[in-house]
Amino acid sequence: MAVDLSFYKSPLSEEIRDEGRAEGRVEGRVEGRVEGAVLRAAEDILDILEVRGIDIPDAIRERITTCDNPDILRHWHRRAVTAPTAEDVFTDAEQTR
């Protein structure tokens, strides 16, 4: 028994596929930008601490680099400028989680 699949090649089907591809590309770009901003924020926090000569234990480095919340990273970034230790970067940040 043969199955007619010609409707998958119709102009409407092509248009629906094209719209789906366009949406996917836009979503992918947005996700990529967010991921890039998060990565950059984590790198900036570590840079600030390193420039200030503050020791960054592996557990702290991992906590910063695995955080995917831009708001928390922004808070930590501001704290990194004045925190006396790497652990102090997280003070008060727990409330924003």
Return the higher-pLDDT residue of 88 and 31.
88
Distance CA 53, CA 20 (A): 50
User: What pLDDT, on the 0 to 100 scale, is given for residue 91?
Assistant: 81
Residue 71 placed within a domain? yes
Quick check: 75 and 84 in contact, CB under 8 A? no
pTM of the model: 0.66
* 69, part of any domain: yes
For residue 36, give Cα distances in angstroms to 48, 91, 94: 18, 25, 23
- The type of residue at 71 is D
Contact 84, 76 (CB under 8 A): no
| Inside any domain, residue 4 | no
5 within a domain of the structure (yes/no): no
Q: What are the tens digits of pLDDT across the range 9-45?
A: 666 667 776 777 777 676 777 677 888 889 999 999 9
Number of domains in the chain: 1
- On the question of pLDDT at 7 being above 60, the answer is no
Q: Is residue 1 part of a domain?
A: no
97 — pLDDT class (breaks 50, 70, 90):
very low
What residues make up the domain containing 61? Answer: 11-96
- What type of residue is 52? R
